[in-house]
Amino acid sequence: MSTSNITFRKTGSSIKVTPVDEVSLEARAASLATRSIKTDSKRAALHLAIRCMDLTTLEGADTPEKVASLCQKAKRPDPSNHDVPSVAAVCIYPEMVHHAVEATEGSSVKVASVAGAFPSGLSTIEARTADIADAVKRGADEIDIVLNRSAFLAGDEQRAFEEIVASKDACGKAHLKVILEVGELGSYDKIRQASMLAMTAGADFIKTSTGKISQASSLPRVLCMAEAVRDFAQQTDISVGIKAAGGIRTAKQAWHYLVVIGETLGTEWLSPEMFRIGASSLLNDVLLQLKRLDSGSYSGPDYVTVD
């Protein structure tokens, strides 16, 4: 496969999309995952993972109380230890936004809302943009939308592109994260194309998955997206953020992602402004690892709050 160009009618901009070498990509991701993190660096890595975390609850059974307690945990992940930083944001459904805004007021924790017919993205674009505008009006700082995989996979990239442009308009000042749902795209080449498409359309962040299907984020997929981000930055001078989400449950997985991002994009990306990890159960494991570092003995799930 040779280099192709995506040209988009609306902006007239043209972006080069290089093909992906699957074997090297997976080998590179696997070798980065074997990198050992020494004890001295572990605490810094764990703190960074917390600072970059989007603490997420996206269940049909979410209640205002559950969101409020999630926000408390986001502000002070470990009530017994002041050194543990707050997470970057809480990620919730639009219906819950005003509860989260209230609960996080005065803290550094941002409110991210999924919007636009999450998780399928298959309602009319008018309904989706109205949903986005509504979430922003309720006070969301960040909006997570999904790529229209249906249009993208059917070959109608132009439509997928224009929908993201329209969504970006609807966002106003709020940050836009575009979920590619990489598990549904089928190949690394498609992930690369979708990443380029989303970034060209104005995404502030590209995000791996909704967390609603079993095939979610993986190290090679995030590496593939990180390389796309690097390419895009070289071609346009625009730095786009990355969010890995779905299936990230252990502290070890989290620092593998930090290594991949740091090695591919540089330390500039190792901050909550440029990198996020979306997770619901990861935080407790990170807290357990921190307790292990502090006390020297292994801790257990009885010693952290349940969600």
Q: Which residues bind another protein (CB under 8 A)?
A: 296-303
Report the nearest approach of another protein to the CB of residue 301 (Å): 7
Is 144 annotated as catalytic? Answer: yes
Identify the active-site residue in 144, 204, 231, 285. Answer: 144
Q: How far apart are CB 285 and another protein at their closest, in Å?
A: 10
Residue whose CB is less far from another protein, 12 or 301: 301
208 close to 200: Cβ distance less than 8 angstroms: no
Q: Determine the angle formed by the axes of helices 157-171 and 125-137, rounding to 10 degrees.
A: 20
- What are the start-end ranges of the H helices in the chain? 22-33, 39-51, 64-75, 97-104, 125-137, 149-153, 157-171, 188-200, 219-236, 251-265, 282-295
In angstroms, what is the minimal distance from the CB of 286 to another protein?
Answer: 15
d(CA 224, CA 150): 21
d(CA 249, CA 255): 11
Nearer to another protein, 163 or 285 (CB): 285
243 is catalytic: yes
Judged by DSSP in three states, 53 sits in: strand
Name which of 106 and 296 has its Cβ closer to another protein.
Answer: 296
Tell the smallest beta-carbon distance from residue 10 to another protein (Å): 51
DSSP string, 187-230: SHHHHHHHHHHHHHTT-SEEE---SSSSS---HHHHHHHHHHHH
- Cβ proximity to another protein: between 41 and 303 the closer is 303
Question: Is 38 one of the annotated active-site residues of the chain?
Answer: no
Catalytic residues: 144, 207, 243
